[in-house]
Amino acid sequence: MTSHRRPIRWHIGIFLAPAVLVYSAFMIFPLFGTLQLSLFTTSEQQTSFVGFDNFRVLFGDPRWSGAFWNALVNNVWFFVIHMLVQNPLGILIAAVLSNPKLRLRGFYRSAIFLPTIMSFVIVGFAWKLILSPLWGIAPDMLKAVGLKFLFAPYLGKEEYALTTLALISVWQYVGIPMMLIYAALLSIPQEVIEAGEVEGVTGFSAFWKIKLPLILPAIGIISILTFVGNFNAFDLVYAAQGALAGPNYATDILGTFLYRTFFGFQMQLGDPNMGAAVAMIMFLIILTGVCIYLFGIQMRMTRYQL
């Protein structure tokens, strides 16, 4: 033990203060505000405390819980499509683009990334037009190659609408995993690849055995970003299908369900208290998912010093 006391390190607090203040004001405070809101109910302009009654209604009332589970299941499917299509596709495109022999790499990279920076309103509207059975180019294009029978009014069919929207979203955002993986692939030192070549590991097996393990942390980050993004999704469904998320709620995800509950829709008045309860559940779902990833996967992931 030393008798020498360390001076108080003021600078730590000062340096942290701006971020802590901003984060508290815009994230922590509203979060607790939402929690508080969800514990009250309003009727006849009177607000009263009801504890967890809103949550009981949300899960206990067959109509509320039916709508909630429908939205959750749809949301999970939305996420599954992204994980199965968007991320593998992103990795594949990045792997192809990182091949130094490929010409026009810069062009492909930009072209594939471009939709990411477009507004969801434009994307939703453009795809609605492309797939329109009346004026869309999709039916005509399929007809030109003799595949007209493949066309259906995808966005209007209960069985296809959600998958179609998920694929539109994949089209828009595939540039993000592509860019992240591309950067990770470029950071792999040439020596490692060459050492592999000396040992006889080339081509496809070099990708599987050397590159893929090295980019796994990046894939992990992409997965969690996809998860958070998908369970917060709202905009594309709202732009393409409206707040009722038709047909027959087939494209209703948690975001649109929250919107209708909180803000109301047409003749249905909004219920901020019930909406806050839905928002809390969404928060808990995302929190659980992130925790599972953080403690279950990321901490056990092997990292290689390059």
Partner 1 sequence: MKIKSLFGAATAVLLGSIGVASADVTLTIESWRNDDLSIWQEKIIPAFEAENPGIKVVFAPTAPAQYNSALNAKLEAGTAGDLITCRPFDGSLSLYKAGHLGEVGDLDNMKNFGAVAKSGWSTDDGSAIFCVPMASVIHGFIYNKDAFKEVGVSVPTTVDGFFSTLEKIKQDGSYVPLSMGVADQWEAATMGYANIGVNYWKGEEGRQAVIAGDMKLTHPDWVAPYAQLAKWGPYMGDGYEAQSYPDSQNMFTLGRAAIYPAGSWEISGFNAQADFEMGAFRVPVQAAGDECYISDHVDIALGMNKATKNPEAARTFLNWVGSAEFADLYANSLPGFFSLSDHNVNMTDPLAQDFVSWRGECNSSIRPYHQILSRGTPNLANEYWVTSANVIRGSMTPEEAAAHMQKGLASWYAPQQ
Instruction: Return residues touching partner 1 (CB under 8 A).
Output: 45, 63, 128, 131-135, 139, 152-158, 241-242, 244, 246-249, 265-268, 271
Compute the distance between CA of residue 56 and CA of residue 61 in angstroms, rounded to an integer. Answer: 8
Q: Choose between 79 and 249: whose C-beta lies nearer to partner 1.
A: 249
Q: Choose between 132 and 298: whose C-beta lies nearer to partner 1.
A: 132
Minimum Å gap between C-beta 128 and partner 1 is: 8
Minimum Å gap between C-beta 125 and partner 1 is: 11
Q: Choose between 37 and 58: whose C-beta lies nearer to partner 1.
A: 58
Q: Choose between 178 and 274: whose C-beta lies nearer to partner 1.
A: 274
Torsion of CA 232, 236, 242, 248, to 10 degrees: -80
Q: What angle do CA 280, 292, 238 make, to 5 degrees?
A: 45
DSSP string, 133-152: TTT-HHHHHHHHTT-GGG--
Q: 84: which residues sit within 8 A by CB, 6+ positions away? A: none
Q: Choose between 24 and 268: whose C-beta lies nearer to partner 1.
A: 268
Compute the distance between CA of residue 246 and CA of residue 254 in angstroms, rounded to an integer. Answer: 14
> Hey, what amino acid is at 146?
G
For 60, the 3-state DSSP assignment is helix
Do 251 and 245 meet the contact criterion of CB atoms below 8 Å apart? yes
Minimum Å gap between C-beta 100 and partner 1 is: 44
Minimum Å gap between C-beta 26 and partner 1 is: 24
Q: Choose between 93 and 253: whose C-beta lies nearer to partner 1.
A: 253
Minimum Å gap between C-beta 44 and partner 1 is: 9
* Alpha carbon 163 to its chain's center: 15
Compute the distance between CA of residue 270 and CA of residue 254 in angstroms, rounded to an integer. Answer: 16
For 130, the 3-state DSSP assignment is helix
Compute the distance between CA of residue 235 and CA of residue 125 in angstroms, rounded to an integer. Answer: 12
Minimum Å gap between C-beta 118 and partner 1 is: 21
Q: Choose between 105 and 128: whose C-beta lies nearer to partner 1.
A: 128
Minimum Å gap between C-beta 261 and partner 1 is: 9
